[in-house]
Structure 1
Amino acid sequence: MAHDIDDRVNLFLRSLEAFDFTAARTMCTKAATVRQNDGQGEQPIEQSLDRLRSITADVDSLSYDVIRRFRNPDEVLQQHVLHLAGIDGSRSDVHAAVYFRFQDGLIDRIEEYVYAEPALTAARPRDPA
Structure 2
Amino acid sequence: MDDDKFDVAARFFHAVETGNIDEVARIYAPQARIWHNFSRRVQTVEENLKVLRWMDRKLPGRRYEVTRRLSIPGGFMQQHVVRGTLADGTDFAMPACVVCLVEDGRITSLEEYLDPAQAAVLSA
Instruction: Work out the CA distance in 1 between the residues paired with 2:104 and 2:57.
Output: 33
Residue of structure 2 equivalent to 1:69: 69
**1:56–1:102 CA distance, 2 compared to 1 (3 A):** same
Where does the alignment leave 5 or more consecutive residues of structure 2 unmatched? 117-124
Write the deviation string for residues 25-52 of structure 1: whole angstroms up to 9, x where unpaired: 1011110110001225011122112112
Where does the alignment leave 5 or more consecutive residues of structure 1 unmatched? 117-129
TM-score normalised by structure 2 residue count: 0.85
Instruction: Work out the CA distance in 2 between the residues paired with 1:85 and 1:94.
Output: 12
Residue of structure 2 equivalent to 1:102: 102
Write the deviation string for residues 55-94 of structure 1: whole angstroms up to 9, x where unpaired: 3223231110111111035210111111122343222111
Instruction: Work out the CA distance in 2 between the residues paired with 1:10 and 1:27.
Output: 11
Aligned-residue identity in percent: 27
Alignment map for 1:6-17 (pairs within 5 Å): 6-17=6-17
Instruction: Work out the CA distance in 1 between the residues paired with 2:65 and 2:58.
Output: 20
How many residues end up aligned between the 2 structures?
A: 116
Helix, strand or coil: the match of 1:69?
A: strand
Q: Is the 8 A contact 2:101 2:110 kept in 1?
A: yes
Residue of structure 2 equivalent to 1:4: 4
TM-score normalised by structure 1 residue count: 0.82
Residue of structure 2 equivalent to 1:113: 113
Q: Which moved more, 1:105-114 or 1:69-78?
A: 69-78
C-alpha root-mean-square deviation of aligned residues, in Å?
1.6
**Greater helix share, 1 or 2?**
2
Instruction: Work out the CA distance in 1 between the residues paired with 2:88 and 2:95.
Output: 21
Letter in 1 for 2:54: S
Helix, strand or coil: the match of 1:83?
A: strand
Q: Indicate the structure whose relative CO is greater, using CA pairs within 8 Å and at least 6 residues apart.
A: 2
Instruction: Work out the CA distance in 2 between the residues paired with 1:110 and 1:25.
Output: 13
